[in-house]
């Protein structure tokens, strides 16, 4: 007897779980989905799925442009100097490949020293000049990156208008 009551209660509860619930879809949610209108039926600017798709396509275009700029910058060699030009460094821009850490890398690909100065310089002078040349090379690389990214920034501003 207890089992039949339990089975009856479970069957009734299970049946209602699969019964269709009447839901009312307001016309405003249908209109807003595609950027239609508001509750009064008036047209409203922006919003909607179509605008979001257009924005997504524009964002993809911007990402592609940034990738192209990064490739151009990665192909260039930038220089820096110190000790009145007696020490020069060649630097490369290496864009970040990790979206969680968007900081780019700067690679020192070579140093050149004026031979006479190099032979007479103390280790401290060499160390200071190498550091200054590297910092100067990174600064020059950053300036070039900033100039290239200004083009991308203008495109993003135009996209928002």
Distance CA 48, CA 29 (A): 10
Q: Which CATH superfamily is domain 58-160 in?
A: Nucleoid-associated protein YbaB-like domain (3.30.1310.10)
Total-model pTM: 0.60
Query: What parts of the chain have a pLDDT lower than 50?
Result: 5, 27-31
Q: Are 126 and 155 in contact (CB under 8 A)?
A: no
Distance CA 129, CA 141 (A): 18
Helix 48-75 / helix 123-160 crossing angle, nearest 10 deg = 150
User: Which DSSP category does 86 fall into?
Assistant: T
Give the pLDDT of residue 133: 95
Q: Give the start-end residues of each E strand in the chain.
A: 78-82, 87-94, 105-113
Give the pLDDT of residue 138: 92
Distance CA 119, CA 101 (A): 41
Distance CA 36, CA 47 (A): 9
Q: Are 155 and 65 in contact (CB under 8 A)?
A: yes
What are the extents of the domains in the chain? Answer: 1-46, 58-160
């Amino acid at each position: 007897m207890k089992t039949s009551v339990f089975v009856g209660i479970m069957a009734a509860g299970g049946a209602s779980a699969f019964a269709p619930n009447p839901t009312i879809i307001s016309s405003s949610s249908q209109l807003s989905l595609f950027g239609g209108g508001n509750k009064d039926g008036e047209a409203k600017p922006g919003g909607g799925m179509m605008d979001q798709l257009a924005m997504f396509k524009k964002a993809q275009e911007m990402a592609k442009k940034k990738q192209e700029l990064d490739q151009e910058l990665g192909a260039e060699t930038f220089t820096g100097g110190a000790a009145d030009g007696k020490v020069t460094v060649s630097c490369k821009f290496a864009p970040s490949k990790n979206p969680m850490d968007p900081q780019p890398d700067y690679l020192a690909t070579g140093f050149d020293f004026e031979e006479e100065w190099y032979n007479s310089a103390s280790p401290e002078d060499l160390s200071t000049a190498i550091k200054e040349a590297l910092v100067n090379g990174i600064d020059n690389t950053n300036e070039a990156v900033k100039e290239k990214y200004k083009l991308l920034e203008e495109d993003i501003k135009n996209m928002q208008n």
